[in-house]
Amino acid sequence: MRLEDKTAFITGAGSGLGREAAELFAGEGATIVAADVDLEGAEETIDRVEDAGRAGTAVELDVRDADAVHAAVDEAVSTFGLDIMVNNAGVSHQRARIEDIDEGERDRIIDVNVKGVWNGCHAVIPHFKEQGSGAIVNTASLAGVIGAPQLGAYSLSKGAVVNFTRTVAAEVGPAGVRANAVCPGVTDTPMPRKGQTEAEWEATKEEMARHYPLKRLGEPEDIANAMLFLASDDADWITGQALVVDGGFSCT
């Protein structure tokens, strides 16, 4: 197992990509700290982890709160030790032209997607540097590396995550710590289907899939597998990278 005797702290673990990563990492031997603003969702994730025979704990956490993030990370370190930090919590917004996105909505996106990643890295880096090892995986987006019309605030936030990840990697690499980002294309999670009925979402998926060379949208396990690779020793000489996982969309 690729994560035997390791502990992973995963934000946004109450649903979607975070939950998928938690279950996959646990299956590879990791102890899981599942953090989410939705405590019930995080607890359900840990129930699944424990049903699979692995250990874990759920933490109610708003990644915008720097003090809370530091406290949660410190508690994980003292209780389990910590080897992997997955800064996955994120939000998006309804499609709109840049001039129609108000300041409050822009700030909401930046507070979660940018400050949340900053807070996670800020909290974990001292621990990783002290132990001389650690892997950080930040969830960015395809929208952070190519243009994303009508997703201006989201694209702004995810582009920041991509470049911040490079900076973290350059800064902490000499201490034996790695940092990478995963950049998903549209993936079948609660975020893109928000506000749609099941029938509407199935029609949306079918229409969008036409634009992907692999003729389908991403599934949560597609992204979680990329996270696992970046978090594991298989990627021991990989740092500062933005791994695009998009079914070929960006090459068309």
Residues noted as catalytic: 154
Gap between the Cα atoms of 141 and 83, Å rounded: 24
Local structure of 45: helix, strand or coil: helix
Gap between the Cα atoms of 219 and 5, Å rounded: 27
Instruction: Write the CB contacts of 19 (distance below 8 Å, at least 6 apart in sequence).
Output: 13, 34, 41, 44, 45, 48, 220
Q: Within 13 A of 194's CA, how many CA atoms are on the CB side? A: 10
Q: How far is CA 34 from CA 76, 88, 192, 220, in A?
A: 10, 11, 22, 16
